[in-house]
Amino acid sequence: MGNCISFILPKWRFSELRSDGMVSVDEGGTHEGIKTIRIQKACEFITSSVLCVCIVTWNMNSKMSVQDVRKLVSSDRKFDLLVLGLQEAPKSGVAEVLQEAMADTHSLLCQKTMQSLQMYLFGAKSSESYIRELKVDKYAVGGCGGVIGRKKGAVAMYINFSGIRMVFVSCHLAAHEHKVEKRNSECQHISHSLFSKNDIHYAKSADITVWLGDLNYRLEGISSMPARKMIEENRQSKLRDKDQLLQEAEKGQVFNGYCEGTLSFKPTYKYNVGSSNYDTSYKIRVPSWTDRILFKVDQSSGLDAILSSYEALDCVRSSDHKPVKAHLCLKVRGGDA
Protein backbone atom coordinates (compact mmCIF):
# COMPACT_ATOMS: atom_id res chain seq x y z
CA MET A 1 0.00 0.00 0.00
CA GLY A 2 1.01 3.61 -0.11
CA ASN A 3 1.64 3.35 -3.84
CA CYS A 4 -1.88 4.64 -4.24
CA ILE A 5 -3.40 2.19 -6.65
CA SER A 6 -1.75 -1.26 -6.39
CA PHE A 7 -2.36 -2.72 -2.95
CA ILE A 8 0.20 -4.98 -1.29
CA LEU A 9 -0.46 -6.52 2.10
CA PRO A 10 1.81 -5.13 4.81
CA LYS A 11 4.70 -7.36 5.85
CA TRP A 12 3.91 -6.77 9.52
CA ARG A 13 0.89 -7.77 11.55
CA PHE A 14 -1.35 -4.98 12.77
CA SER A 15 -3.21 -7.51 14.90
CA GLU A 16 -0.18 -7.70 17.18
CA LEU A 17 -0.46 -4.00 18.02
CA ARG A 18 -2.56 -2.70 20.88
CA SER A 19 -4.20 0.68 21.24
CA ASP A 20 -5.82 1.42 24.57
CA GLY A 21 -5.76 5.20 24.23
CA MET A 22 -9.00 7.09 24.57
CA VAL A 23 -9.84 9.10 21.48
CA SER A 24 -10.95 12.42 22.85
CA VAL A 25 -10.44 16.13 22.36
CA ASP A 26 -9.62 16.57 26.04
CA GLU A 27 -7.14 13.86 26.92
CA GLY A 28 -5.56 14.18 30.35
CA GLY A 29 -1.94 14.70 31.21
CA THR A 30 0.29 17.61 30.32
CA HIS A 31 -1.36 20.21 28.14
CA GLU A 32 0.40 20.13 24.79
CA GLY A 33 -2.08 22.15 22.79
CA ILE A 34 -2.18 21.55 19.05
CA LYS A 35 1.22 20.64 17.69
CA THR A 36 2.01 22.60 14.54
CA ILE A 37 4.02 20.36 12.24
CA ARG A 38 5.96 21.22 9.13
CA ILE A 39 4.83 20.16 5.69
CA GLN A 40 7.07 17.81 3.73
CA LYS A 41 6.40 18.60 0.09
CA ALA A 42 7.58 15.19 -1.07
CA CYS A 43 6.29 12.35 1.08
CA GLU A 44 9.37 10.58 2.43
CA PHE A 45 7.22 7.50 2.99
CA ILE A 46 6.35 7.24 -0.69
CA THR A 47 8.11 3.88 -1.13
CA SER A 48 7.45 2.49 2.33
CA SER A 49 4.05 3.91 3.26
CA VAL A 50 1.47 1.57 4.65
CA LEU A 51 -1.36 3.92 3.78
CA CYS A 52 -1.82 7.38 2.23
CA VAL A 53 -5.01 9.32 2.93
CA CYS A 54 -6.31 12.48 1.29
CA ILE A 55 -8.65 14.50 3.52
CA VAL A 56 -10.87 17.35 2.32
CA THR A 57 -13.31 19.59 4.17
CA TRP A 58 -15.60 22.20 2.63
CA ASN A 59 -18.57 24.29 3.71
CA MET A 60 -20.57 24.52 0.47
CA ASN A 61 -22.94 27.30 1.59
CA SER A 62 -25.81 25.18 0.17
CA LYS A 63 -24.67 25.88 -3.39
CA MET A 64 -24.01 23.19 -5.97
CA SER A 65 -21.25 23.73 -8.52
CA VAL A 66 -20.34 20.61 -10.46
CA GLN A 67 -17.10 22.21 -11.59
CA ASP A 68 -16.05 23.05 -8.02
CA VAL A 69 -16.97 19.62 -6.64
CA ARG A 70 -14.73 18.06 -9.27
CA LYS A 71 -11.90 20.36 -8.21
CA LEU A 72 -11.97 18.76 -4.76
CA VAL A 73 -10.63 15.52 -6.26
CA SER A 74 -7.73 16.44 -8.50
CA SER A 75 -6.49 14.17 -11.28
CA ASP A 76 -3.25 13.60 -9.34
CA ARG A 77 -4.67 10.99 -6.97
CA LYS A 78 -1.65 9.63 -5.15
CA PHE A 79 -3.64 8.32 -2.22
CA ASP A 80 -5.24 5.08 -1.14
CA LEU A 81 -8.22 6.60 0.64
CA LEU A 82 -10.12 9.86 0.19
CA VAL A 83 -12.15 11.24 3.09
CA LEU A 84 -14.41 14.14 2.16
CA GLY A 85 -16.47 16.05 4.73
CA LEU A 86 -19.02 18.62 3.60
CA GLN A 87 -20.99 21.16 5.61
CA GLU A 88 -24.05 23.07 4.40
CA ALA A 89 -24.16 20.67 1.48
CA PRO A 90 -27.14 20.63 -0.92
CA LYS A 91 -29.62 17.79 -0.49
CA SER A 92 -28.70 15.94 -3.67
CA GLY A 93 -26.25 15.71 -6.53
CA VAL A 94 -22.92 15.70 -4.69
CA ALA A 95 -22.50 11.92 -4.44
CA GLU A 96 -23.21 11.41 -8.12
CA VAL A 97 -20.70 14.06 -9.21
CA LEU A 98 -18.02 12.66 -6.91
CA GLN A 99 -18.52 9.08 -8.06
CA GLU A 100 -18.35 10.12 -11.70
CA ALA A 101 -15.20 12.16 -11.09
CA MET A 102 -13.49 9.34 -9.18
CA ALA A 103 -14.70 6.43 -11.32
CA ASP A 104 -11.40 5.75 -13.10
CA THR A 105 -9.34 5.25 -9.94
CA HIS A 106 -11.49 4.99 -6.79
CA SER A 107 -14.80 3.58 -5.61
CA LEU A 108 -17.24 4.86 -3.00
CA LEU A 109 -16.82 2.71 0.11
CA CYS A 110 -19.16 4.52 2.47
CA GLN A 111 -21.20 7.67 2.97
CA LYS A 112 -23.06 9.22 5.91
CA THR A 113 -25.47 12.15 5.95
CA MET A 114 -27.13 14.21 8.69
CA GLN A 115 -29.13 16.93 6.97
CA SER A 116 -26.54 19.35 5.53
CA LEU A 117 -23.58 17.37 6.91
CA GLN A 118 -22.26 14.83 4.41
CA MET A 119 -19.24 12.54 4.55
CA TYR A 120 -17.78 10.28 1.86
CA LEU A 121 -15.07 7.64 1.92
CA PHE A 122 -13.47 6.53 -1.34
CA GLY A 123 -10.91 3.77 -1.76
CA ALA A 124 -8.65 2.74 -4.62
CA LYS A 125 -10.09 0.07 -6.88
CA SER A 126 -10.33 -3.38 -5.23
CA SER A 127 -9.70 -1.88 -1.79
CA GLU A 128 -12.96 -3.34 -0.44
CA SER A 129 -11.14 -6.58 0.36
CA TYR A 130 -8.98 -4.75 2.92
CA ILE A 131 -11.92 -3.52 4.99
CA ARG A 132 -12.26 -5.59 8.14
CA GLU A 133 -14.86 -3.39 9.78
CA LEU A 134 -16.72 -0.22 8.84
CA LYS A 135 -19.15 1.68 11.08
CA VAL A 136 -20.80 5.09 10.88
CA ASP A 137 -22.38 7.33 13.48
CA LYS A 138 -23.74 10.84 13.92
CA TYR A 139 -24.36 13.29 16.73
CA ALA A 140 -26.40 16.48 16.59
CA VAL A 141 -25.79 19.50 18.79
CA GLY A 142 -28.08 22.46 19.33
CA GLY A 143 -30.86 23.25 16.90
CA CYS A 144 -30.74 23.97 13.20
CA GLY A 145 -28.35 26.89 13.44
CA GLY A 146 -31.13 29.31 12.62
CA VAL A 147 -31.60 27.87 9.14
CA ILE A 148 -33.78 24.84 8.48
CA GLY A 149 -31.74 21.94 7.16
CA ARG A 150 -28.40 23.23 8.44
CA LYS A 151 -27.90 21.11 11.51
CA LYS A 152 -24.76 21.45 13.61
CA GLY A 153 -22.94 18.43 14.99
CA ALA A 154 -20.88 15.67 13.43
CA VAL A 155 -20.95 12.58 11.26
CA ALA A 156 -18.23 10.00 11.72
CA MET A 157 -16.74 6.84 10.27
CA TYR A 158 -14.74 4.08 11.93
CA ILE A 159 -12.81 1.84 9.57
CA ASN A 160 -10.43 -1.03 10.21
CA PHE A 161 -8.47 -1.06 6.98
CA SER A 162 -6.03 -3.95 6.78
CA GLY A 163 -5.60 -3.70 10.53
CA ILE A 164 -5.24 0.10 10.74
CA ARG A 165 -8.06 1.41 12.90
CA MET A 166 -9.10 4.91 11.91
CA VAL A 167 -11.78 7.32 13.06
CA PHE A 168 -12.80 10.29 10.92
CA VAL A 169 -15.04 12.96 12.44
CA SER A 170 -16.52 15.61 10.17
CA CYS A 171 -18.15 18.39 12.15
CA HIS A 172 -19.88 21.76 11.95
CA LEU A 173 -19.73 23.74 15.18
CA ALA A 174 -21.47 26.86 16.49
CA ALA A 175 -20.86 30.09 14.57
CA HIS A 176 -19.91 33.62 15.68
CA GLU A 177 -16.77 34.90 17.35
CA HIS A 178 -18.13 35.07 20.91
CA LYS A 179 -19.35 31.46 21.07
CA VAL A 180 -15.95 29.96 21.93
CA GLU A 181 -17.17 28.10 25.02
CA LYS A 182 -20.11 26.68 23.09
CA ARG A 183 -17.75 25.32 20.43
CA ASN A 184 -15.56 23.81 23.14
CA SER A 185 -18.61 22.17 24.71
CA GLU A 186 -19.80 20.81 21.37
CA CYS A 187 -16.39 19.26 20.75
CA GLN A 188 -16.57 17.51 24.12
CA HIS A 189 -20.10 16.20 23.59
CA ILE A 190 -19.31 14.95 20.09
CA SER A 191 -16.11 13.26 21.24
CA HIS A 192 -17.76 11.48 24.15
CA SER A 193 -20.91 10.45 22.27
CA LEU A 194 -19.74 9.06 18.93
CA PHE A 195 -19.52 5.29 18.78
CA SER A 196 -20.53 4.94 22.42
CA LYS A 197 -23.81 3.08 21.97
CA ASN A 198 -24.28 -0.41 23.37
CA ASP A 199 -20.85 -0.35 25.01
CA ILE A 200 -19.14 -0.65 21.63
CA HIS A 201 -16.38 1.94 21.93
CA TYR A 202 -14.86 1.98 18.48
CA ALA A 203 -13.37 5.40 19.07
CA LYS A 204 -11.39 4.19 22.06
CA SER A 205 -9.25 1.81 20.03
CA ALA A 206 -8.34 3.96 17.05
CA ASP A 207 -4.75 4.05 15.84
CA ILE A 208 -5.38 7.42 14.23
CA THR A 209 -8.16 9.94 14.71
CA VAL A 210 -8.87 12.78 12.28
CA TRP A 211 -11.20 15.72 12.88
CA LEU A 212 -12.17 17.81 9.88
CA GLY A 213 -14.81 20.42 9.23
CA ASP A 214 -16.06 23.92 9.78
CA LEU A 215 -14.98 24.23 13.40
CA ASN A 216 -15.94 27.91 13.27
CA TYR A 217 -13.18 29.18 15.60
CA ARG A 218 -12.35 32.75 14.65
CA LEU A 219 -9.59 35.33 14.93
CA GLU A 220 -9.91 37.31 18.13
CA GLY A 221 -8.39 40.61 19.20
CA ILE A 222 -8.06 42.15 15.76
CA SER A 223 -10.53 44.00 13.56
CA SER A 224 -11.27 43.16 9.95
CA MET A 225 -9.27 45.78 8.05
CA PRO A 226 -5.94 45.32 9.89
CA ALA A 227 -6.30 41.55 9.45
CA ARG A 228 -6.96 41.93 5.73
CA LYS A 229 -3.97 44.22 5.31
CA MET A 230 -1.71 41.59 6.88
CA ILE A 231 -3.13 38.93 4.57
CA GLU A 232 -2.67 41.15 1.51
CA GLU A 233 0.97 41.62 2.51
CA ASN A 234 1.36 37.83 2.92
CA ARG A 235 1.91 38.22 6.65
CA GLN A 236 -0.95 35.95 7.73
CA SER A 237 1.49 33.97 9.88
CA LYS A 238 1.33 36.90 12.32
CA LEU A 239 -2.36 36.16 12.81
CA ARG A 240 -1.89 32.64 14.17
CA ASP A 241 -1.54 33.77 17.77
CA LYS A 242 -5.02 35.31 17.46
CA ASP A 243 -6.62 32.05 16.34
CA GLN A 244 -9.19 30.89 18.91
CA LEU A 245 -8.71 27.18 18.19
CA LEU A 246 -4.98 27.29 18.90
CA GLN A 247 -5.64 29.41 21.99
CA GLU A 248 -8.25 27.03 23.40
CA ALA A 249 -6.09 23.99 22.69
CA GLU A 250 -3.16 25.65 24.46
CA LYS A 251 -5.41 26.03 27.52
CA GLY A 252 -6.18 22.32 27.36
CA GLN A 253 -9.84 22.88 26.48
CA VAL A 254 -9.90 21.03 23.15
CA PHE A 255 -7.74 18.84 20.89
CA ASN A 256 -4.90 18.45 23.36
CA GLY A 257 -1.98 16.70 21.68
CA TYR A 258 -3.49 16.76 18.19
CA CYS A 259 -1.39 17.79 15.19
CA GLU A 260 -2.04 20.30 12.44
CA GLY A 261 -0.04 21.55 9.52
CA THR A 262 1.22 25.11 9.47
CA LEU A 263 -1.48 27.66 8.66
CA SER A 264 0.44 29.05 5.71
CA PHE A 265 -2.64 29.54 3.55
CA LYS A 266 -5.02 32.50 3.78
CA PRO A 267 -7.95 32.35 6.21
CA THR A 268 -10.73 30.35 4.54
CA TYR A 269 -13.75 32.46 5.62
CA LYS A 270 -15.60 34.67 4.76
CA TYR A 271 -15.47 35.34 1.01
CA ASN A 272 -17.86 36.97 -1.40
CA VAL A 273 -19.49 34.13 -3.31
CA GLY A 274 -18.02 33.79 -6.79
CA SER A 275 -14.73 35.43 -5.91
CA SER A 276 -11.59 35.29 -3.80
CA ASN A 277 -12.35 38.63 -2.18
CA TYR A 278 -13.19 38.80 1.50
CA ASP A 279 -16.64 39.81 2.71
CA THR A 280 -17.75 43.26 1.55
CA SER A 281 -21.21 43.11 3.12
CA TYR A 282 -22.15 45.55 5.87
CA LYS A 283 -20.86 43.02 8.44
CA ILE A 284 -17.31 43.10 6.99
CA ARG A 285 -16.43 39.90 8.86
CA VAL A 286 -12.92 39.31 10.13
CA PRO A 287 -11.23 36.64 7.96
CA SER A 288 -10.73 33.42 9.93
CA TRP A 289 -9.39 29.88 9.62
CA THR A 290 -12.76 28.29 10.33
CA ASP A 291 -12.05 25.19 8.23
CA ARG A 292 -9.49 22.80 9.70
CA ILE A 293 -8.03 19.29 9.60
CA LEU A 294 -6.47 17.88 12.79
CA PHE A 295 -5.09 14.42 13.49
CA LYS A 296 -3.69 12.35 16.32
CA VAL A 297 -1.77 9.07 16.12
CA ASP A 298 -1.98 6.81 19.15
CA GLN A 299 1.55 6.33 20.46
CA SER A 300 0.96 2.63 21.08
CA SER A 301 -0.13 2.01 17.49
CA GLY A 302 3.37 1.49 16.10
CA LEU A 303 2.63 4.06 13.38
CA ASP A 304 4.31 7.27 12.32
CA ALA A 305 2.63 9.90 10.16
CA ILE A 306 3.71 12.84 8.05
CA LEU A 307 1.73 15.58 6.36
CA SER A 308 2.88 16.17 2.81
CA SER A 309 0.36 18.92 2.11
CA TYR A 310 -2.05 21.22 3.95
CA GLU A 311 -3.67 23.82 1.74
CA ALA A 312 -6.75 25.82 0.86
CA LEU A 313 -8.19 25.56 -2.65
CA ASP A 314 -8.47 29.18 -3.73
CA CYS A 315 -9.71 28.16 -7.18
CA VAL A 316 -13.06 27.06 -5.68
CA ARG A 317 -15.35 30.10 -5.58
CA SER A 318 -18.99 28.97 -5.38
CA SER A 319 -19.11 29.23 -1.57
CA ASP A 320 -18.18 31.80 1.06
CA HIS A 321 -15.67 29.23 2.38
CA LYS A 322 -12.59 27.80 0.69
CA PRO A 323 -12.07 24.03 0.87
CA VAL A 324 -9.09 22.73 2.85
CA LYS A 325 -7.15 19.65 1.79
CA ALA A 326 -4.51 17.56 3.56
CA HIS A 327 -2.43 14.58 2.45
CA LEU A 328 -1.44 12.25 5.29
CA CYS A 329 0.86 9.24 4.96
CA LEU A 330 1.34 6.47 7.53
CA LYS A 331 4.17 3.98 8.00
CA VAL A 332 5.44 1.54 10.58
CA ARG A 333 7.56 3.27 13.20
CA GLY A 334 11.22 2.35 12.84
CA GLY A 335 10.72 -0.02 9.93
CA ASP A 336 9.61 -0.42 6.34
CA ALA A 337 6.33 -1.80 5.12
Three-state helix/strand/coil letters over the chain: CCCCCCCCCCCCCHHHCCCCCCCCCCCCCCCCCCEEECCCCCCCCCCCCCEEEEEEEEECCCCCCHHHHHHCCCCCCCCCEEEEEEECCCCCCHHHHHHHHHCCCEEEEEEEEECCEEEEEEEECCHHHHEEEEEEEEEEECCCCCCCCCCEEEEEEEEEECCEEEEEEEEECCCCCCCHHHHHHHHHHHHHHCCCHHHCCHHHHCCEEEEEEECCCCECCCCHHHHHHHHHCCCHHHHHHHEHHHHHHHCCCCCCCCEEECCCCCCCECECCCCCCECCCCCCCCCECCEEEEEEECHHHCEEEEEEEEEECCCCCCCCECCEEEEEEEEECCCCC
137 vs 97: CA distance, rounded Å: 24
146 pLDDT exceeds 90? no
pLDDT grade for 77, boundaries at 50, 70 and 90? confident
Question: What pLDDT does 43 receive?
Answer: 66
74-88, 102-116, 234-248: least confidently modelled range: 74-88
Average pLDDT over all residues of the chain: 87
143 pLDDT exceeds 80? no
Please classify residue 226 by burial: count the beta carbons closer than 10 Å to its beta carbon, then call 0-12 exposed, 13-18 middle and 19+ buried: exposed
Strands 51-59 and 324-332, sheet pairing: antiparallel
Say if CB 278 and CB 43 are below 8 A apart: no
Question: What pLDDT does 199 receive?
Answer: 66
Cβ neighbors of 72 (< 8 A, separation 6 or more) are 56, 58, 84, 98, 313, 316, 323, 325
- Which of 169, 174, 215, 172 lies closest to 192, judged by CA? 169
- Which of 330, 314, 141, 174 lies closest to 231, judged by CA? 314
19-28, 67-76, 148-157, 299-308: least confidently modelled range: 19-28
The whole-number average pLDDT for the span 202-231 is 94
329 vs 45: CA distance, rounded Å: 7
- Which of 97, 94, 89, 83 lies closest to 60, judged by CA? 89
Cβ neighbors of 91 (< 8 A, separation 6 or more) are 149
6 pLDDT exceeds 70? no
Question: What pLDDT does 168 receive?
Answer: 98
Question: What pLDDT does 337 receive?
Answer: 39
- Which of 319, 283, 275, 323 lies closest to 61, judged by CA? 319
Percentage of the residues of the chain whose pLDDT score is greater than 70: 84
8 pLDDT exceeds 50? no
pLDDT grade for 25, boundaries at 50, 70 and 90? low
12 pLDDT exceeds 80? no
Percentage of the residues of the chain whose pLDDT score is greater than 90: 74
pTM of structure: 0.90
Question: What pLDDT does 2 receive?
Answer: 59
Question: What pLDDT does 20 receive?
Answer: 31
Residues 172-198 pLDDT 10s = 999 999 999 999 999 999 999 999 886
46 pLDDT exceeds 60? no
32 vs 234: CA distance, rounded Å: 28
126 pLDDT exceeds 90? no
The whole-number average pLDDT for the span 298-314 is 93
17 pLDDT exceeds 60? no
Residues 237-289 pLDDT 10s = 999 999 999 999 999 999 999 999 999 999 999 999 999 999 999 999 999 99
| Cα 44–chain centre separation | 22
Question: What pLDDT does 151 receive?
Answer: 78
Question: What pLDDT does 335 receive?
Answer: 54
Question: What pLDDT does 49 receive?
Answer: 62
The whole-number average pLDDT for the span 315-319 is 97
Question: What pLDDT does 149 receive?
Answer: 52
14 pLDDT exceeds 50? no
